[in-house]
Amino acid sequence: MAGAATLVRAARKSRRLTQRRLAERTRIDQASVSRSERGRDAEYSTTARLLAGAGHGLYTAPTQRDDAATIASEIRERLRSGDRERALRALLQLNDYPVAERGLVRGALGLAEPETTRDPVWDAAVAACGRRGSRRPNG
């Protein structure tokens, strides 16, 4: 599943909150919010509190695959470093990930809204893969 940093950042951005505003809502200092978004504070209680402050809940489930937000983040980093081949491999993983999971876990993998890759073509591909996975029937 997504790392705590990806979850917190995606939840905050989905509500169009600044780090400062999220800190105010949760009564956690802004530096701690920043650390959480950089993966330096991944305590369950902190992550749950920050997600709640952005209007989200935190649930855990065993899975074999990364979620859409984590894969999109990897694609963005691969594109930033000029490694389009590995970005494509990550996109293919995103396209195939729902097949490896069943039931509720399959749906949960697509819940966290992916951040932009900063490339409209890649963003469209990520969105198409995410929609494809969420429409598959339970198996």
Tokens 């105010």 sit on residue:
24
Q: Please tell me the predicted confidence (pLDDT) of residue 136.
A: 38
Q: Please state, in angstroms and rounded to a whole number, the distance separating the CA atoms of residues 86 and 50.
A: 32
pTM of this structure: 0.54
71 or 28: which leads in pLDDT: 28
Q: Is the pLDDT of residue 133 over 60?
A: no
Report yes or no: 122 and 91 within 8 Å, Cβ to Cβ. Answer: yes
- Name the least confident of 8-12, 17-21, 93-97, 103-107: 103-107
Q: Is the pLDDT of residue 23 over 90?
A: yes
Pick the CATH number of 4-53 from 1.10.4160, 1.10.260, 3.40.50, 1.20.120: 1.10.260
Q: Please state, in angstroms and rounded to a whole number, the distance separating the CA atoms of residues 108 and 105.
A: 5
Q: CA neighbours within 13 Å on the CB side: how many for 120?
A: 0
Q: pLDDT tens digit string along 32-86? A: 999 999 988 778 889 999 999 999 888 776 666 677 778 888 899 999 999 999 9
Report yes or no: 30 and 19 within 8 Å, Cβ to Cβ. Answer: yes
Q: Please state, in angstroms and rounded to a whole number, the distance separating the CA atoms of residues 71 and 125.
A: 12
Report yes or no: 124 and 89 within 8 Å, Cβ to Cβ. Answer: no
Q: Please tell me the predicted confidence (pLDDT) of residue 1.
A: 43
Q: Please tell me the predicted confidence (pLDDT) of residue 39.
A: 86
At position 61, the amino acid (one-letter code) is A
Instruction: Tell me the domain boundaries of the chain.
Output: 4-53, 68-134
Q: Measuring CA to CA, which residue among 119, 65, 62, 63 is closest to residue 90? A: 65
Q: Please tell me the predicted confidence (pLDDT) of residue 100.
A: 62
Q: pLDDT tens digit string along 73-120? A: 889 999 999 999 999 999 888 877 666 665 555 555 555 667 788 889
Alpha helix (H) residue ranges in the chain: 4-14, 19-26, 30-37, 44-53, 68-80, 84-96, 103-108, 120-134
Give every CB contact of residue 134 below 8 A, 6+ residues apart in sequence: 98, 107, 110
